[in-house]
């Protein structure tokens, strides 16, 4: 219990200390006009208040990731707490803040456009493919997961296919309408339910004195799976998630002032980490070890969610908690498809004011997603995890390049970027869905690849700095 409470305390302290430091490094300009005010189109660029933006951002980023991921990560033992706490403070929240704020500085641009501007044109095409793939996987996973939970709650009252169909209908409507029509109105209410359900579980852990394991670095995974790199892909949302880089630009187009960025982007990532801590602790205390592993293997993490909610909060409170968990993926799935539509529209320069233009992009996306729902959930999750953290790695390098070109401390982004480069390279070299190499060889290949990426980053940063200096010299010469 001490470890759990200390971890929650560190997350809160991190927001007020390191979050403030990151904001200072970035250099907020209160008088600067944001895209919500200068690019208003009544569809995606719509000014909204800080509280509403914060709750929308939380629901956008908090799918089943900060619940399912920590539940599966709990198998590793309390070492998972370390990744949630330090990953969120020094990587995840920095990632979310920088992608949101850099987007604000670039007319609400999405990650592919930012990657093209700061890492080169080739990266724009690479990241565009990565982002759309990731969002399709997220949207699909966030259809099947809540549909399964609803189907269990209804005890066979209706078919799973029908529930999936209804969720898709909602997604189509929410993706197509202006952001303030559905998302801007109902998300604050859903956000309140999410927070209440998480606080209910967390409060029950404290009041009942739940036997949460204390801190140890020992790997407790029943199957002996290695902490590195698997833990850092298993727990993504709640610590660091590339999916967030696709969501922050949605809110960068509705944020009215730059000074609101720390609350909206950094703060909501910390809030998500608190939610992740609560569910990881609950899973450890109630189903620790083999029992938890067996339940996940047999029925998936959704079964753990239902059991934890009912045991901790009773039938009524437990049902409300499960509803909160169902809302999480649905409210991330719709914005996943919305973000995919916006990214494709930006890539092909298709204006989104007319509904016909929105349908032209959205319909093919939904058709592909319907096909993907036929695949096994665990297979989808494996591809999602790697694509997700690879996107996070790229987004952190974008943030580092932006800060470096501004002559600011890029280490707040380049250090976590380096770590995640090693993680993602190691995973894809070793995993069966990747190259299937032995782990020692995967470590070596990942280390070489990471060094190459660092070298390319340093080379491009120095080259761009020299170009900027030449440009400044030319401007001075003209003035003279």
pLDDT at 156: 67
Determine the Cα–Cα distance for residues 450 and 229; give it in Å rounded to an integer: 14
Of 234, 226, 269, which is closest to residue 395 (Cα–Cα)? 269
Best-predicted range by mean pLDDT among 239-248, 373-382, 471-480?
239-248
pLDDT at 377: 57
Tell me whether residue 417 is exposed, middle or buried, using C-beta atoms within 10 angstroms of its C-beta: 0 to 12, 13 to 18, 19 or more: buried
DSSP string over 4-46: HHHHHHHHHHHHHTHHHHHHHHHT--TTSPPHHHHS--SSS--
Please name the residues in contact with 52: beta carbons below 8 A apart, sequence gap of 6 or more.
184, 187, 188
Weakest mean pLDDT among 206-210, 239-243, 327-331, 387-391: 327-331
pLDDT level of residue 426 (50, 70, 90 thresholds): very high
pLDDT at 184: 75
Q: Could you tell me if 405 and 465 are in contact, meaning their C-beta atoms sit under 8 angstroms apart?
A: yes
Determine the Cα–Cα distance for residues 453 and 418; give it in Å rounded to an integer: 8
Best-predicted range by mean pLDDT among 132-136, 288-292, 380-384?
132-136
What's the whole-number mean pLDDT along residues 190-195? 75
Higher-confidence position of 421 and 312: 421
Q: Quick: pLDDT tens for 79-100.
A: 999 999 999 999 999 999 999 9
DSSP string over 375-406: S-HHHHHHHHHHHHHHHHHHHHHHHHHHHHHT
Q: Quick: pLDDT tens for 204-223.
A: 889 888 888 888 888 988 88
pLDDT at 43: 83
What's the whole-number mean pLDDT along residues 37-55? 90
Q: What one-character DSSP code corresponds to residue 263?
A: I
pLDDT of 412 strictly over 80: yes
Higher-confidence position of 379 and 238: 238
Q: How many helices (H) and strands (E) does the chain have?
A: 21, 0
Which tokens in the block code for residue 170?
Answer: 């909602």
What's the whole-number mean pLDDT along residues 136-152? 76
What's the whole-number mean pLDDT along residues 155-164? 80
255: which strand partners? 48
What's the whole-number mean pLDDT along residues 150-167? 80
User: From residue 237, how far is each of 71, 244, 285 by CA, in Å?
Assistant: 12, 8, 21
Only one residue has tokens 């890029």, namely 410
Q: Could you tell me if 73 and 83 are in contact, meaning their C-beta atoms sit under 8 angstroms apart?
A: yes
Q: Could you tell me if 163 and 329 are in contact, meaning their C-beta atoms sit under 8 angstroms apart?
A: no
Domains of the chain: 2-404 (1.20.1740.10)
3-state secondary structure (DSSP) of residue 48: strand
């Amino acid at each position: 219990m001490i470890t759990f409470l200390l971890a929650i305390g560190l997350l809160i302290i991190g927001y007020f200390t390191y979050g403030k430091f990151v904001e200072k490094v970035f250099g907020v300009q209160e008088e600067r006009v944001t895209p919500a005010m200068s690019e208003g189109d009544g569809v995606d660029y719509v000014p909204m208040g800080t509280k509403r933006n914060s709750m929308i951002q939380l629901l956008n980023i908090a799918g089943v990731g900060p619940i399912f991921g920590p539940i599966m990560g709990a198998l590793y033992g309390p070492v998972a707490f370390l990744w949630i706490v330090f990953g969120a403070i020094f990587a995840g929240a920095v990632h979310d803040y920088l992608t949101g704020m850099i987007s604000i500085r670039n007319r609400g641009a999405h990650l592919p456009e930012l990657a093209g501007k700061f890492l080169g044109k080739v990266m724009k095409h690479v990241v565009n493919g990565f982002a759309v793939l990731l969002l399709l996987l997220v949207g699909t996973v966030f259809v099947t997961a809540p549909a399964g939970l609803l189907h269990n709650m209804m005890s066979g009252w209706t078919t799973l296919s029908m529930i999936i169909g209804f969720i898709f209908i909602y997604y189509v409507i929410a993706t197509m309408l202006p952001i303030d029509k559905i998302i801007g109105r109902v998300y604050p209410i859903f956000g309140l339910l999410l927070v209440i359900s998480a606080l209910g579980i967390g409060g029950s852990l404290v009041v009942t004195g739940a036997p949460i394991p204390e801190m140890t670095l020992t790997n407790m995974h029943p199957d002996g799976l290695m902490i590195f790199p698997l833990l850092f892909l298993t727990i993504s949302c709640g610590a660091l998630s590339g999916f967030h880089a696709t969501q922050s630009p949605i809110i960068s187009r509705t944020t009215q002032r730059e000074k609101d960025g720390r609350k909206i982007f950094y703060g909501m990532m910390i809030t998500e980490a608190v939610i992740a801590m609560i569910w990881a602790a609950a899973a450890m205390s109630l189903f620790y070890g083999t029992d938890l592993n067996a339940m996940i293997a047999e029925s998936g993490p959704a079964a753990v969610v239902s059991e934890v909610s009912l045991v901790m909060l009773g039938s009524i409170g437990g049902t409300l908690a499960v509803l909160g968990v169902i809302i999480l993926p649905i409210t991330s799935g719709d914005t996943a498809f919305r973000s995919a539509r916006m990214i494709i529209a930006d890539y092909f320069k298709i204006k989104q004011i007319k509904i016909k233009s929105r349908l032209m992009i959205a319909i093919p996306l939904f058709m592909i997603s319907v096909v993907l729902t036929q695949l096994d959930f665990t297979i989808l999750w494996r591809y999602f995890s790697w694509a997700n953290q690879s996107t996070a790695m790229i987004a952190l390098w974008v943030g580092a390049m932006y800060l470096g070109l501004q002559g600011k401390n890029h280490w707040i982004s380049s250090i976590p970027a380096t770590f995640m480069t090693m993680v993602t390279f190691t995973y894809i070299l070793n995993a069966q869905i990747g190259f299937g190499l032995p782990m020692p060889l995967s470590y070596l290949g990942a280390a070489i690849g990471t060094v190459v990426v660092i070298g390319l980053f340093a080379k491009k940063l120095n080259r761009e700095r020299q170009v900027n200096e030449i440009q400044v010299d030319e401007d001075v010469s003209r003035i003279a």
